[in-house]
Amino acid sequence: MTGEAHAAERSARRAARSTPVRIGARIGIAAYGLTHLLVAWLALQIAFGTDGGERADQTGAFQAIVQQPHGRVLLWGLVVGFAAVALWRTQEAVWGFAYESERTTKVRLRATSAGKAVIFAVLAVLAARTAAGSGGGGGQQRAAAGVLGLPGGQLIVGAVGLGVLVTGAVTVVSGVQQRFRRAMSLPADRRAREAALRTGQVGFVAKGVAIGIVGVLVVIAAILYRPEEAGLDAALRTLAGQPFGQYLLVAIAFGVLAYGVFCFFDARYHRV
């Protein structure tokens, strides 16, 4: 690597680890929590049949925000926060976890950070599209429909669904085993510490279950060629229509609510 390349890498690393980016990352994590609170509220409305057709997913949460007074300004603020998290996670994926001695663990942590960087980059784009007034609802269904139309598309979508299902299972295990605490500098105060741990456990488990349901529906969408059944909103509405589905949906909604609360603790105590 040339001297110019080394200098460029150092500059990129300093920018990604700068104080503004770190502050923005904490704001983005808190914004992620806010969207989960809104998704939980929309899911409860579906459970009790009081929704007005709003989507119970991230897009629906952004649309709920933009409809409020000064909501568009707030949503642009969330865009900045999400972008900062994406940048911070990207530097973790490229340069992070140097303290890990085991190469396998380091690779796994960097891959996880890369995945989270993509998630927050997508959230930033979705929020920006909503703030700009271009909507963007049904993106998962459109993507599934597009892939299903390709040669071997059903196999691709089915494989994606299985991957989503595995992600849900891993998320549940992470909650049960409190793996999330490794990345946090938890407070000394016992009540705050317990609140962070319990909301994290409940939230991760509930979110993992919701992700798993999405994975199952994506696989079904691939088998039956029904892209409209892919996505979180479709998963929650499908669950609501099952026997005892209302009760399960309420439980998941409160779990997603707990995850949203946990994100506020994470925004404060995450090792950024």
Query: 171: closest CA among 129, 133, 120, 211?
Result: 211
C-alpha 138/C-alpha 240 separation (Å) is 19
What's the angle, vertex CA 192, arms to CA 188 and CA 198, rounded to 5?
120
C-alpha 29/C-alpha 264 separation (Å) is 7
Residue 50 has pLDDT above 70, yes or no: yes
Residue 65 has pLDDT above 80, yes or no: yes
**For residue 270, what are the β-bridge partners?**
184
The pLDDT tens digits of the residues spanning 77-133 come to 889 889 988 888 888 888 777 667 788 878 888 888 888 888 889 889 888 988 888
Map out the domains of the chain as residue ranges: 1-137, 138-272
What's the angle, vertex CA 212, arms to CA 206 and CA 218, rounded to 5?
140
Residue with tokens 């960087």: 117
pLDDT: which is higher, 44 or 138: 44
DSSP string of 184-219, one letter each residue: B---SSHHHHHHHHHHHHHHHHHHHHHHHHHHHHHH
Residue 166 has pLDDT above 70, yes or no: yes
Query: 271: closest CA among 92, 147, 119, 100?
Result: 92
Q: How many CA atoms lie within 13 A of 112 on its CB side?
A: 15
What is the pTM assigned to this prediction? Answer: 0.77
The tokens describing 196, both together, are 């962070």
The pLDDT tens digits of the residues spanning 2-15 come to 666 566 566 666 66
